[in-house]
Amino acid sequence: MKKPTTAVIFLLVGGILAVFVAPKLLRVRNLEARSARLEVELNKIQYENRLLENELRLLREDPVYLERVARKKFHKAKEGEIVYKIQKDPPASTTG
């Protein structure tokens, strides 16, 4: 008669473990997935930060780069230069 009692105790302990441990395991798994996503995001932000630091260094130290940026972003020209702005015609509408 010991065998049924042992089986019941084993099932009872297994049930208790399932009730208390399973949610913890799911939480750990979710936290690991979140950690992996955050690691990817951190790597992306660190890469973007390096790009911005490099651009800042170029803006501070490289006058040729600074001039190129000023001309492109702010439409600046040297004294005496004439800047021509070419506009494309909008596509003809086909109404009929």
Token pair, residue 48, equals 């973007």
Give residue limits of the domains in the chain: 8-74
pLDDT tens, per residue, the chain with 96 residues: 456 788 888 888 888 888 888 889 999 999 999 999 999 999 999 999 999 999 999 999 999 999 899 888 887 788 888 877 788 888 777 665
Q: In angstroms, what CA-CA distances link 41 with 22, 36, 50, 51, 55?
A: 29, 9, 14, 15, 21
Q: What pLDDT is attached to residue 76? A: 79
Q: What pLDDT is attached to residue 2? A: 57
| CB of 45 closer than 8 Å to CB of 38 | no
| CB of 42 closer than 8 Å to CB of 48 | no
Q: What pLDDT is attached to residue 31? A: 97
Beta-carbon contacts of 59 under 8 Å, excluding residues fewer than 6 positions away, are: 65, 66, 69
Q: In angstroms, what CA-CA distances link 31 with 27, 37, 48, 58, 67?
A: 6, 10, 25, 40, 48
